[in-house]
A and B are shown apart, each in its own frame.
Chain A
């Protein structure tokens, strides 16, 4: 244990020291450079560590992925758009696209909506920490445990047998028959159930961030409005919501991307059966089960392309923000 303890302390103390030291030293490095130029060089020095990490670990593999998507499985020859053609013509992948659309819309609306509602509500009560902890808890539970939890919730026992699943027992009180929840593919009901599971986990995420932003809103501003006779809804709509908008955009963008990459829940609970398949799961299957890197890469590239509109919206928002600042 001993040598590791020393390493541990060295790392926990040393890493921040080295990083802070780096930033402090950048000013020293900039000293000899004329004042005018300093401003153009400085941002790049600050960005350097981040850009290094990102280029090596994310950009370089992505370039490889894009190249792979035009190749065959073994990576020995180029097959043009074959992999993409397969993607857009195979009924399973098209079904996945449709499901992902549902995921994006529903997950974002629900998690951001609930996250904001809860953040605003608990801001006013004394037991705020406890309430936030309860909503945050599902995120702290690993995916493995979450799948066990919801398996108990959705469990289906044959009609006539005592229901062991929570949901079936609940609807049983009203005399409604037991339902095989995850097999109900009409109106994508089972996909919606999976989205609800994910909402249960990720609302805490939105809530924590929105809560942090909420605390930055000056109390005087809110008090002044209330003194002027505004009721709670008007205060929310007129002051809180507009001030939270940038944070909501950050949270929403993150959740949209999470919805596009959603995989674990579907994989563990249904394996993609009963019309619940999603793109990420089909990509991982192609990559590791079937060993078909070409097709897997094509799916990954489609994923990358789908966030372009989201990013475009974000650029517009920044440019508007800059104008105000």
Chain B
């Protein structure tokens, strides 16, 4: 009985095994999606054309790349992802190649493991200039891909510099944002649009004068999951830039100025005044998500007079359904110290290339052009890095873009330029400070400790 069972089982196993192998062999080649079977045979080759021949002269999307594809990874999802897909659609149409985009919030994890193991996308959104430096060895030098003189002339010099590591251009900005805009509701403050305060003291006077119109002077919300605290860092950076000047600002994010330095400490105290005059008090500030922080602007009675936030707030919270110009408007953050007038803080989305396949090179060259960036810009919620992309949908975004292009002193977001350990401590420091401002000295001392180890070369 046992013998027969064994024989039957053996036959069954052979048949099953044969079916498995047959399926593996047949499905392996047909479709571009490598669906491997457990038969053991490695799946069909990955779709990206990895056979890197000699690097070709940069083409801007006119060549024929039918059947090829480019893998792109970035943090964009939802509407952003749709905007990016619209941006690359013309390129896909003209070259016949395809863009495979994956969005993820875990960009750091994916790229860190990727760099360590060699499994990388062709193009990737980079989390920031700091990480870009860490991965510089794996990134492709873009001077063989872009027309460098054109790129340099079309982009703000600061942004071009930030994309370089040891002189090598490895990162380019596709999209930018300007920070430190003071948003208000024109229905509450009719004269703010025309008679915007130009100094910090004038702003404070203005707030006191209009106290009765809202419950508090400022709206503020710093909650943001693991990154809670970053709107506060934007505040401190704007203050340092205007109060202590661009030189101190630069040395500060380079780790050469201590956090306990009087200049930095004063900036925090100034921020503390803002928190004290914020809608709902410190508990609300720490508990409110940054996207909804500005909602009280539009309530009746208004919860606050002003919100300090970047240009991308127009796509979030109550701003999304409100009408630009009539429901909300902005003016630039005023100067604090007359010496440092005209300083602007901005940020942007950095892109890099890991594999220099022909299709990837073509796509990268396309992404930095004005027509490409115009597509996203027209959809709204983004500012272009290319000076010639000016197809803005409304007056608000036009003015935001103008601020960036005409900036006398352009400073990139300081926390994005700090080592990530420092950046993270900065965020947490803000949250702790808002909760208990009396702890300022110990918070700053702790930041100094982190600074010593974060900036040390490994």
Contact = CB atoms under 8 A, between A and B. Distances in A.
Q: A and B: direct contact (Cβ < 8 Å)?
A: yes
Interface in A1-43: 3-4, 6-7, 9-11, 13-15, 17-18, 20-21, 24-25, 27-28
13 contacts: A10-B24, A13-B19, A14-B16, A18-B16, A21-B10, A155-B287, A158-B281, A267-B226, A268-B225, A274-B435, A288-B106, A288-B108, A289-B424
Interface residues of B, number: 53
A182 B27 CA distance: 52
Interface in A216-241: none
Interface size class of A (residues with CB under 8 A): 35 or more
B20 interface: yes
**A interface, by DSSP: helix, strand, loop or mixed?**
helix
A21 B279 contact: no
A184 B287 CA distance: 11
A75 to B, nearest CB: 10
A24 B458 contact: no
Contact of A183 (B106, B226, B420, B435): B435
Contacts of B17: 14, 17-18, 21
B287 A180 contact: yes
Interface in B263-292: 279-281, 283-284, 286-288
Q: Which 7 A-B pairs have the closest CB atoms?
A: A158-B280, A21-B13, A17-B16, A10-B23, A14-B20, A271-B226, A156-B287
Interface stretch (B33-41, B352-360, B361-369, B378-386): B33-41
Nearest to B456: A73
Contact of B13 (A18, A74, A161, A273): A18
A9 B24 CA distance: 11
Interface string B1-44: 00000100110110011011011101100110101011100000
A55 interface: no
A20 B5 CA distance: 13
B16 A21 contact: yes
Chain B CB count within 10 A is highest, among A13, A270, A273, for A273
Contacts of B26: 3, 6
A273 B38 contact: no
B226 A268 contact: yes
Contacts of A28: 6, 10
A53 B207 CA distance: 66
Chain A CB count within 10 A is highest, among B17, B23, B31, B303, for B23
Contacts of A11: 20, 23, 37-38
B13 A17 contact: yes
Contacts of A182: 287
A288 to B, nearest CB: 5
A273 B225 CA distance: 9
Interface in A42-101: 72-74
A4 B283 contact: no
A290 B421 contact: yes
A247 interface: no
A291 B135 CA distance: 11
A272 interface: yes
A102 to B, nearest CB: 20
Given A21-B10, A271-B427, 16 more contacts: A3-B26, A4-B27, A14-B37, A17-B20, A20-B9, A24-B6, A24-B9, A180-B283, A183-B283, A268-B226, A273-B229, A289-B421, A290-B421, A290-B424, A291-B131, A291-B134
Nearest to A72: B458
